[in-house]
């Protein structure tokens, strides 16, 4: 009920990566709760979603390409100015991917692409859309990870990118306090999405009791947003692991993490775009 009431004040949702996983679940779940919302999705593939009455605008965008992001932001701001004169706006920086293997496997180009998508794209989108968010009021949700709480050997760049996103979100939340724009960092653990396959990891070795569904992550996010939290770890087991990792000396946490990640080894460092 709290999440439903909170959503009624929003008029539009802008999100990245709505074609699959957590992003797709956001559109499906929130679209059912608030059918009048206008969704703007940025991804390479358009979402295939069947929700009666859903208002969805897709922008074809490679989030590793700064020029494409800049062009799409210009179009997006123009559409919002024309079609949404009033009402709060929710920005969800959801897109991200990881790779498995000792740095720089599978190759340096893929590592740099990861930084563009996981780190640079949220910064660029937030910067370009912040004036619009300030004018309308609203919120920014950044999807980080429990990998943000400790160094992650064999996924070094991914974990570091999520640590950046978490710390950046918390700092931004303080900067924007009182501005009418709320910032929330969400830290999911293992989730039933394409992430494992793309990273070259074996999802089957993660017990169902440890992982979460994208829908559960979305519900956690909406509840935290309604309570105006600035950070939330999704799932009570993930909360315990994050708390433990945060209290361990970083060298020890890194040593434990690399052993845990090695357990999830699947197809190696090969990834899919």
Residue 153 sits at φ, ψ, to 5 deg, of -60, 145
The pTM (predicted TM-score) of the whole model is 0.91
Is the pLDDT at 53 greater than 60, yes or no?
Answer: yes
For residues 204-227, average pLDDT: 83
CA distance 234 to 122: 20
Say if CB 262 and CB 202 are below 8 A apart. no
Mapped onto helix, strand or coil, the DSSP state of residue 173 is: helix
CA distance 176 to 174: 5
pLDDT tens digits, one per residue of 132-168: 999 999 999 999 999 999 999 999 999 999 999 999 9
CB-CB neighbours of 237 under 10 Å: 15
CA distance 156 to 159: 5
| Closest listed residue to residue 217, CA positions, set 139, 167, 150, 143 | 143
Is the pLDDT at 77 greater than 90, yes or no?
Answer: yes
Is the pLDDT at 269 greater than 90, yes or no?
Answer: no
Give the pLDDT band (50/70/90) at residue 193: low
Helices (H), the chain: 2-7, 21-33, 66-83, 108-115, 121-136, 156-175, 195-199, 214-226, 236-247, 250-263
Residue where the block lists tokens 């692409």: 113
Structure tokens at 221: 């996010």
**β-strand partners of 55:** 38
Task: Quote the distance between the C-alpha of residue 129 and its chain's center.
Answer: 16
Residue 179 sits at φ, ψ, to 5 deg, of -90, -10
pLDDT tens digits, one per residue of 180-190: 999 999 999 98
CA distance 17 to 65: 14
Residue where the block lists tokens 């949220």: 122
Per CATH, the architecture of 2-263 is what? 3-Layer(aba) Sandwich (3.40)
């Amino acid at each position: 009920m709290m999440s439903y009431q909170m959503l009624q004040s929003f008029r539009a949702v802008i999100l990245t990566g709505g074609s699959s996983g957590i992003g797709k679940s956001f559109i499906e779940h929130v679209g059912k709760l608030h059918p009048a919302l206008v969704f703007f999705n940025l991804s390479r593939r358009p979402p295939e979603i069947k929700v009666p009455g859903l208002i969805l605008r897709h922008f074809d965008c490679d989030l590793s390409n700064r020029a494409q992001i800049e062009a799409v932001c210009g179009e997006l701001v123009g559409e919002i100015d024309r079609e949404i004169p009033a009402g709060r706006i929710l920005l969800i920086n959801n897109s991200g991917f990881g790779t498995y293997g000792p740095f720089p496997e599978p190759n340096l180009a893929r590592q740099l692409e990861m930084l563009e998508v996981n780190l640079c794209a949220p910064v660029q989108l937030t910067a370009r859309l912040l004036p619009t968010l300030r004018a309308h009021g609203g919120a920014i949700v950044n999807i980080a990870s429990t990998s943000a709480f400790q160094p992650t050997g064999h996924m070094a760049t991914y974990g570091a990118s999520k640590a950046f996103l978490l710390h950046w979100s918390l700092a931004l939340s303080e900067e924007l306090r009182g501005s009418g724009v709320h910032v929330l960092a969400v830290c999911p653990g293992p989730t039933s999405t394409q992430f494992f396959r793309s990273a070259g990891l074996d999802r089957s070795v993660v017990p169902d009791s440890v992982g979460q569904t994208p829908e559960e992550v979305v519900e956690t996010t909406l509840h935290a947003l309604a309570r105006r939290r600035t950070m939330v770890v999704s799932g009570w087991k993930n909360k315990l692991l994050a708390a433990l990792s945060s209290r361990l000396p970083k060298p020890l946490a890194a040593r434990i993490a690399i052993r845990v990640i090695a357990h999830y080894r699947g197809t190696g460092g090969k990834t899919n775009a």
